[in-house]
Amino acid sequence: MTLARLLIPPLVSGGLFGAGLTLSGMTDPARVRGFLDLFGDWDPTLAFVMAGAVLVMAVAWRIRARMPRPIFGEKFSLPDRTDLDPKLLTGSALFGVGWGIAGLCPGPAVASLALSPGAVLPFVGAMLAGMVLHALPQQRSFRRLFQGS
Amino acid sequence: MIEAFPNALPLQGLLGGLLIGLASAMMLLGAGRIAGVSGITARATRLSGGDMSMTSAWGFLVGLPLGAAIIALSTEWRPAEYASWPVMVVAGLIVGIGTRMGSGCTSGHGVCGVSRFSQRSLIATSTFMITGIATVFILSRLGSPS
């Protein structure tokens, strides 16, 4: 596959995504926290964002069902897990806490690197550190350290 | 404008949401993948496996700030206010661990999974909405700076 086929669709997708987040005010932590402030001064904007995005994607999933393969790729690589495990719940619960504290989730945080780099860099850096921390116990060298073998 | 919520931006919200949907649809139908920001970030930094190429993962991640910049430059965009850096570090750490442990965030579970009626994503999304609401509720009672 050529470089252009690998690079351009994700780049355009990311660009549209970042544009959508910024246009809808989702890069503003106050607006996101306003949505989560259900018992205070509630701001329903995020619900409109989710509705718009889910609407388009619901159509896309229907189109995908009729496609043998993606337009620019050889095959679909989609999650197929259906089991519910404690990790899904614990992880999502944790994520919600961090989301509520800062009013930022990964998409808006990365997009905001172009808007307020100084303010969001500590968040993005710590987010990467958190991802590394989560990956550590799965590393073979780390396991060996604790199993003493 | 909605009378009860003078600060809400229903039109910009819907329009931005449609763009996000279009972006996710492009990723799905074009590249055959989920536009999940936490998963793609982990892939780009080689923290997770999978068959997504580095070129594609970085392409998507670089696109995010590019798209944000285009809107900021072409509309009446004003800089947002953020929490202090120590608070941002704590929140970022929790988000990093949580999204990996829970296999996704607002984009992967909230948009891509929910629109597919994935049971895992519906449960994940309800869970982070509930703990997010609880966190903001508790912090507002404590009078923390938002």
User: pLDDT tens for residues A39-96?
Assistant: 999 999 999 999 999 999 999 999 999 999 999 989 999 999 999 999 999 999 999 9
Q: pLDDT band at residue B144, thresholds of 50, 70 and 90?
A: low
- Residue spans per domain, chain A: 3-147
Q: Would you say the C-alpha torsion A136, B94, B122, B20 has a positive or negative sign?
A: negative
Domain count, chain B: 1
Tell me the per-residue pLDDT of A14-28, one tens digit each, with 9 for 90 and over. 999 999 999 999 999
Of B30, B50, B109, the CB nearest to A9: B30
In a domain, B89, yes or no: yes
User: Within 13 Å and on the Cβ side, how many CA atoms surround B55?
Assistant: 10
B45-83 pLDDT, tens digit per residue, is: 999 988 899 999 999 999 999 999 999 999 988 999 999
- Within a domain: residue B3? no
Which of A27, A66, A63, A24 shows the shortest CA–CA distance to A45? A24
Confidence (pTM): 0.94
In the structure encoding, which two tokens stand for residue A133, read together? 């921390």
Residue range(s) defining the domain that contains residue B89: 10-141
Are the Cβ atoms of B41 and A127 closer than 8 angstroms? yes
Q: Are A130 and B103 an interchain contact pair (Cβ–Cβ within 8 Å)?
A: no
Residues of B in contact with A97 (CB under 8 A): 94, 98, 131-132, 135
- The distance of A149 to chain B (nearest Cα, Å) reads 24
Cα(A133)–Cα(A93) distance, integer angstroms: 17
Q: Which of A131, A127, A100 is nearest to A112 (CA)?
A: A127
ipTM: 0.95
Residue A112 is given by DSSP the state G
